[in-house]
Amino acid sequence: MRATLLLRNIDRANTIGFLGLGAMGRGMAANLLNKTFAGQQGVFTPSSTASKPTFVVYDPFAPALNDFLSTHTRAYAGRDVVPASSPAGVVRLASTVVTMLPSATEVEEVYLGENGFREGLEGLSDERREGTLFIDCTTGNRDHARGVAKEMEALGAAMVDAPVSGGVVGAEKGTLSFMVGGPEEAFNRAQPYLEKMGARYIHCGESGNGLAVKICNNLLLGISMVGTAEAMLLGRSLGLSPELLASVINTSTGRCWSSESNNPAPGATPQIPTPADRGYTGGFLSKLMSKDLKLALASAATSSTPLPLGQLTATLYDKLSAHDEFAARDFSVVFEYLNQAREGALNGAGAGKKGEGVN
């Protein structure tokens, strides 16, 4: 009954869809919804907007969907924040759709699979298809993303890849940076939505280029984190205090984001609390770093680019992510992983965690 009423009354051009209400998506969707319904300042006055935007959400993980709905339907009583039963259902109801999914596999499933966006679009008029914009914020494979964008464009819709940096805190605070790939016109159409979820958005060129930039950045981030962890661990093994070593590195040529803002050695930067200071909780998970390094290796394979350090770093994060205690912690936990390898060696158990080699 409710769904029938909605389908009849919904103003599709004025409706936003959001899929993937996980660690990142729930904060991004909340900002997009709050700033759409209540204005950039986040103050909701029921009479402030003549037109009535609607927000449609979908996530197959029921707790994620229910949490989001119970929070926001209460906050915006009288407005429509509604669930759809499939990705196809979302695109039938909404002309602008944001996706924030785990990986390229889910992107292909949601866009091209059964009950996916392609099926939803196929049932719409040409005018409605042309009015459709997809903003995919997933960190996925660049070539797959290009293929999906081509399929959407063949049906008349526009699509940008818009992966983010800034983490869960940035998603919640609305301070993310978006790296956007796709046609200029699609980028311009995406801007009003991106600015509600982030502080910066950069057009990086054609479809797939947002992901290319993201993947290159995270390749360097992974390498620089491992380098920082090695230097900090060697320093501690040689009897240096982490705070002293970090203060010298951070005013010298070894300085980088990993040494300065996310130092992997506990106690290294007392003035800047890091995940290392709270048992490596919060932050950017090792398993996500492992995924991103694999994306870099896949892109390197298709472009014949040698990545010797990238390969070593990817192998290290792959091994580390095989252990639950490391996989779901901030990626600076590589310091602790190497430390355990050192202790294993000192105790005569050989290098590596539980007897395994570290590289």
Site for ligand NAD contains 98 (CB under 6 A): no
Site for ligand NAD contains 23 (CB under 6 A): yes
Backbone angles phi, psi at 218, to 5 degrees: -75, -25
Site for ligand NAD contains 333 (CB under 6 A): no
Shortest distance in whole angstroms from residue 92 CB to ligand NAD: 15
Helix extents (H) in 116-263:
117-122, 126-130, 142-154, 167-173, 184-197, 209-237, 242-249, 257-260
Site for ligand NAD contains 222 (CB under 6 A): no
Sign of the alpha-carbon dihedral angle for 57, 58, 63, 64:
negative
Is the CB of 64 or the CB of 75 nearer to ligand NAD?
A: 64
Torsion angle defined by CA atoms of residues 229, 234, 236 and 237, in that order, rounded to the nearest 10 degrees = 140
- Contact yes or no for 295/139 (Cβ under 8 A): yes
Shortest distance in whole angstroms from residue 227 CB to ligand NAD: 21
Query: What one-character-per-residue DSSP string does 126-158 give?
Result: HHHHHT-EEEE-----HHHHHHHHHHHHHTT-E
Of 162, 164, 293, 295, the residue at the interface with ligand NAD (CB under 6 A) is 164
Site for ligand NAD contains 25 (CB under 6 A): yes
The catalytic residue among 214, 287, 291, 319 is 214
Site for ligand NAD contains 59 (CB under 6 A): yes
Shortest distance in whole angstroms from residue 27 CB to ligand NAD: 9
> What is the per-residue binding string for ligand NAD in 227-266, x denoting contact by CB under 6 A?
----------------------------------------
Site for ligand NAD contains 284 (CB under 6 A): yes
Is the CB of 102 or the CB of 147 nearer to ligand NAD?
A: 102
Site for ligand NAD contains 20 (CB under 6 A): yes
294 an active-site residue?
no
Report long-range pairs for 267-273 (Cβ below 8 Å, ≥24 apart).
267/242, 267/243, 268/232, 268/242, 268/243, 269/243, 270/243
Please give the structure tokens belonging to residue 151: 């399929």
Please state, in angstroms and rounded to a whole number, the distance separating the CA atoms of residues 35 and 23. Answer: 19
Query: What's at 195, amino acid-wise?
Result: E
By CB under 6 A, the residues from 111 to 150 that bind ligand NAD are 138-139
Site for ligand NAD contains 282 (CB under 6 A): no
Please state, in angstroms and rounded to a whole number, the distance separating the CA atoms of residues 132 and 155. Answer: 10
Please state, in angstroms and rounded to a whole number, the distance separating the CA atoms of residues 241 and 320. Answer: 26
Site for ligand NAD contains 106 (CB under 6 A): yes
Q: Applying CB under 6 A, which residues contact ligand NAD?
A: 19-25, 58-61, 64, 100-103, 106, 109-110, 138-139, 164, 167-168, 284, 288
Catalytic residues: 214
